[in-house]
Structure 1
């Protein structure tokens, strides 16, 4: 291969450092996207697969690097989307609605009712949250009663996540 040929190939190639920086930027953009609601994500120019994986990120525990691996995968999926188009669309998104915060308050109230209450509150919560199971709610209640004060907040957070899923 002639020396002229080598220089033209090298000048057209993107350096490994540049590729890594671009991949890191996509991963950071993906991490920002994990904070958006489903409605906000659907209004962005994203593939359905990417939206699904962004929502999955929030359901994962942070044990054994699960979220880190998921972010890597989200970064990989981001390569198929136009990052500039997404970045330009983010400021145009409507702000999170007040319904979300009122819904969180309502769930927190239900959580307190379940943890402090009796079977009646559990029965009412089964009507309010049809995706939940009686056995699981009773288990949360028993653990909460037995738990030390320092562990109770963790159990309450777990119950809130369960009610939201």
Structure 2
């Protein structure tokens, strides 16, 4: 082993210039994702002071070069800020989107199974949601089957999906 170099010395070294650049770009990317959020999603991110003002300004900028400079400024501000709560809120927001998509797909699959199996499948809905209106669901399933056979638009299938979503959210 080289007498001038130890593993312990490596820990004392400051981060390399490349490492600092990677961190800076990652923070700029986080800032860019925050800027692109919808108003409702943006409201869930805990921002304060100059950083919030800078992001609000970036959301209004139309010029590409102006936005690029503003994003660099946001990256600088993020380096000076504790980004733990911001990252946590952003992760929760992303997980919420993923969970909503999974729920949506599960409801679509459930609707398709109800239509394929007919009125006999209503018991699975009643078992999961006892407050469900058995008669209403039966009528929607029969109507969806008639629409399928007549090659009509799937209005009843949409109504079934809407009803299942209401039951799931309620």
TM-score (norm 1): 0.46
TM-score (norm 2): 0.44
**Which has more radius of gyration?**
2
